[in-house]
Amino acid sequence: MAAVLALLVMNWVVTPLVLPKTSDAWMNAPLTTIRAESEGDIHIAREVGDVVAIGSLLANTVNAYLNPASVWQLKTEQANLEAELTRATRESELANNLKATSSLELDKYRRALTADLVLALRQADAKIAELTVLLNQSERIVKMTEPLSRIGAVTADDSSRALENETIAQHRLDQGSAEKDSIANQLEAIKTNVYIQRDSPIYLLWYLETQQSVPVAQAKVEETKRRLASVQLELAQADAYVRRLAGGAILSPVAGLVWRRNASSGPVAKGESTLEIAEAPAREFI
């Protein structure tokens, strides 16, 4: 009788404690619940009693009903922004090229106008010198006719004509000096792209227009780059999210024994329990 009891104890108590069967597990072992990460169809690759290691394949999921419309919308927006950035970059390059060309043409016009004004200034100096000589001559004639008119050696008309010629000579000299000052002022103003007594040259208008367009075009490029970077980041996040929801392999996060299988192959809801694993080092199960 004692021998029979000893065999029963060995079979039902000692043996399960030392070498448990695959259909049994430690009753007090912690259980890890494996849940579906997304809705879809699942194929569970494990049976109750299977020993699993960390990273072992537990199941595969496929979400055939996932709608990736948001990803396609973002991809379309990304393509549109890439095309917009290409156009904006081309426009910016064109604006810079036009600015450089207009600046070159304006510089040519400025140099030509400066050369003309320098020549005109020299001519004004020569004219002033000539008018100064004429004024000096008129002044000498007036000085000569004044005493002669007092003694009647010259007529009153001759004396008046001499005074009139002096006045005219002085007036012409003043005009010549004013013209010289005007030319000198124009030369000085040209240095700052100001054109006195002249219509603004087409080269200047062209230059000013392109000068204003360059920062506008560059700002458009930078704005488009920022928008594209934002969409690319959003697309990467949305694509990763869709890929994750689309399904994939469910791997075991722990080592142990499949304790319970709650779902069979087929549709599952997000968060639905699929398996329970009794945690323990795999070597404890045979």
**Would you place residue 246 in the very low, low, confident or very high pLDDT band (cuts 50, 70, 90)?**
low
∠ Cα 249 254 259 (to 5°): 90
- Per-residue pLDDT, 82: 94
- Per-residue pLDDT, 14: 46
- Per-residue pLDDT, 18: 47
Position 11 pLDDT exceeds 80: no
Q: Shortest CA distance to 99 belongs to which of 218, 12, 3, 6?
A: 218
**Tokens 């008046």 sit on residue:** 160
Tell me the average pLDDT across 162-167.
Answer: 86
- Per-residue pLDDT, 77: 93
- Per-residue pLDDT, 21: 42
- Residue % of the chain over a pLDDT of 70: 82
**Would you place residue 29 in the very low, low, confident or very high pLDDT band (cuts 50, 70, 90)?**
confident
Q: Shortest CA distance to 158 belongs to which of 149, 166, 150, 167?
A: 149
Q: Quick check: 51 and 257 in contact, CB under 8 A?
A: yes
For the chain, the average pLDDT equals: 80
Please give the radius of gyration of the chain, using alpha carbons only, rounded to the nearest integer.
52
Choose between 71 and 229: higher pLDDT.
229
- Residue % of the chain over a pLDDT of 90: 22
Tell me the CA end-to-end span of the chain in Å, nearest whole number: 32
Position 164 pLDDT exceeds 50: yes
Question: Which of 87-91, 110-114, 228-232 is predicted least confidently?
Answer: 110-114
CA distance 75 to 234: 10
- Per-residue pLDDT, 93: 93
Reported as a single tens digit per residue, the pLDDT across 71-104 is 889 899 999 999 999 999 999 999 899 888 888 8
Reported as a single tens digit per residue, the pLDDT across 37-59 is 777 777 888 888 889 999 888 88
CA distance 161 to 85: 81
**Identity of the highest mean pLDDT range in 241-245, 267-271, 275-279:** 275-279
**Would you place residue 20 in the very low, low, confident or very high pLDDT band (cuts 50, 70, 90)?**
very low
Q: Shortest CA distance to 276 belongs to which of 67, 76, 47?
A: 47
- Per-residue pLDDT, 144: 82
CA distance 6 to 2: 6
- What pTM did the predictor assign? 0.49
Residue type, 191: K
What are the structure tokens assigned to 126, written together? 């020569």
